[in-house]
Amino acid sequence: MIVKLDARAKINLGLRILGKRPDGYHDIQSVFHEISLCDIIRISIKPGSGAISLSCSTADIQSDSSNLAWKAADAFLNSTGALLDVEIELEKNIPSCSGMGGGSSDAATVLKGLCQLTGIKDIDLSKIAIALGSDVPFFIRGGAALIEGRGELLSDTPFIPFHAVLIHPDIKVSTAWAYSVWDDNSSTSLTNNTMIRHYSASSAVWHEGKPFPHNLRNDFLPLLEKHFPEIAELVQFMTDSQCENWGMSGSGPTFYALFREKSRAHCFSKTLHGSFTLCRSAETAGASSNG
């Protein structure tokens, strides 16, 4: 038996870090929104003893037990007691260490794919997900959501139609490193960003006077500006551009520019000199079947 699924990326429509928790994680407020950029995952199962194999299209991604997709399959087998061998083929399109949740999306998609293949329904995937990583519960649910706590508290927020230009600086940012830098600077002005505004469902539209319904400020951005000249230059470029709605996703370094019309996104992309991706918002929840 085999299933083929899309594992979508997300962008953060604003990110506020509220503080470090006693368990070592951080409380956050952010709006996650899935986008059309996705990894493609093929999962097959057969009767067996719990063997897991993982292959990846990208050489710099580990294909062993350190990979979140592998860990997700292992957690599913341990939780259900299913006597199966699992084979996972991972086609990577979401850049690693980019702030778009690629690894977490892969893990959530493996969990959902195994549920689909096995027909097992009486399992709490969210409980497994939070043990795998803070972003994984969102991808179990998918779509768009207000994220609080360490990532386990999700509230409905409306889907927002947009076209996005993703800008990929030629650097990698470890989430663990970014949080450690935030901890070191938590009492300085670098971390004193504006709180995210929470708009009602009726406000989640584009309209004159409010071109986008969320504050896109990201608490990591001032810290990355300080440590990476490439980020500082990109911030200046975005500030000087005609794009009103831009931000950085997660702990970076991916930037995004958001537009109502696809034509405006294409036009903006022509002003860029580095690596970029054109995509759109995903307006249905969850990993989607790809045939």
**Displacement of CA 194 from its chain's centroid (Å):** 22
Per-residue pLDDT at 204 exceeds 60: no
Catalytic, out of 6, 106, 135, 219: 135
The arithmetic mean of pLDDT across residues 151-162, rounded, is: 90
Amino acid at 155: S
Rounded Cα distance between 118 and 85, Å, is 12
The arithmetic mean of pLDDT across residues 39-43, rounded, is: 98
Rounded Cα distance between 204 and 189, Å, is 30
- Predicted local confidence at residue 280, as pLDDT: 96
Longest distance between any two alpha carbons in the chain, whole Å: 60
- Predicted local confidence at residue 2, as pLDDT: 92
Query: What percent of the chain has a predicted confidence (pLDDT) above 90?
Result: 77
The arithmetic mean of pLDDT across residues 164-187, rounded, is: 91
- Predicted local confidence at residue 242, as pLDDT: 77
The arithmetic mean of pLDDT across residues 153-182, rounded, is: 92
Rounded Cα distance between 74 and 80, Å, is 10
CATH number listed for the domain at residues 2-157: 3.30.230.10
Rounded Cα distance between 125 and 108, Å, is 8
Q: What is the mean pLDDT of the chain?
A: 89
On whether the CB atoms of residues 214 and 13 are closer than 8 A, the answer is yes
The arithmetic mean of pLDDT across residues 118-126, rounded, is: 93
Q: Which of 255, 72, 108 is nearest to 173 (CA)?
A: 255
- Predicted local confidence at residue 214, as pLDDT: 81
The arithmetic mean of pLDDT across residues 238-242, rounded, is: 89
Alpha helices in the chain (DSSP H): 68-80, 102-118, 125-132, 136-141, 175-184, 221-227, 229-240, 262-269
- Predicted local confidence at residue 135, as pLDDT: 95
**In which residue ranges of the chain is CATH 3.30.230.10 found?**
2-157
Which DSSP symbol is given to 195?
A: P
Per-residue pLDDT at 193 exceeds 80: no
Helices (H) and strands (E) in the chain, counts: 8, 11
Which pair of tokens denotes residue 266? Answer: 């294409």
Taking the chain, what is the end-to-end CA distance rounded to the nearest angstrom?
A: 14
**In which residue ranges of the chain is CATH 3.30.70.890 found?**
163-280
The arithmetic mean of pLDDT across residues 10-24, rounded, is: 93
Kindly report, residue by residue over 75-110, the tens digit of the pLDDT. 999 999 999 999 999 999 999 999 999 999 999 999
On whether the CB atoms of residues 178 and 224 are closer than 8 A, the answer is yes
What does pTM read for this prediction?
A: 0.90
- Predicted local confidence at residue 196, as pLDDT: 45
Which DSSP symbol is given to 194?
A: P
Residue 70 falls in which region: left (phi positive, over 0), alpha (psi -120 to 50) or beta: alpha
Kindly report, residue by residue over 67-76, the tens digit of the pLDDT. 999 999 999 9
Higher pLDDT pick, 252 / 156: 252
- The verdict on whether 210 is a catalytic residue reads no
On whether the CB atoms of residues 26 and 17 are closer than 8 A, the answer is yes
- The verdict on whether 10 is a catalytic residue reads yes
Kindly report, residue by residue over 251-281, the tens digit of the pLDDT. 999 999 999 899 999 999 999 988 999 999 9
Given the candidates 3.30.70.890, 3.90.660.10, 3.40.50.150, 3.40.50.800, the CATH classification of the domain at 163-280 is: 3.30.70.890
- Predicted local confidence at residue 190, as pLDDT: 56
Rounded Cα distance between 146 and 156, Å, is 6
Higher pLDDT pick, 254 / 210: 254
Which residues make beta-bridge pairs with 35?
Answer: 281
How does residue 198 score in pLDDT terms, banded at 50, 70 and 90?
very low
Phi, psi of 276 (to 5 degrees): -150, 165
Residue owning tokens 């409306």: 158
Per-residue pLDDT at 188 exceeds 90: no
Catalytic, out of 10, 71, 92, 112: 10
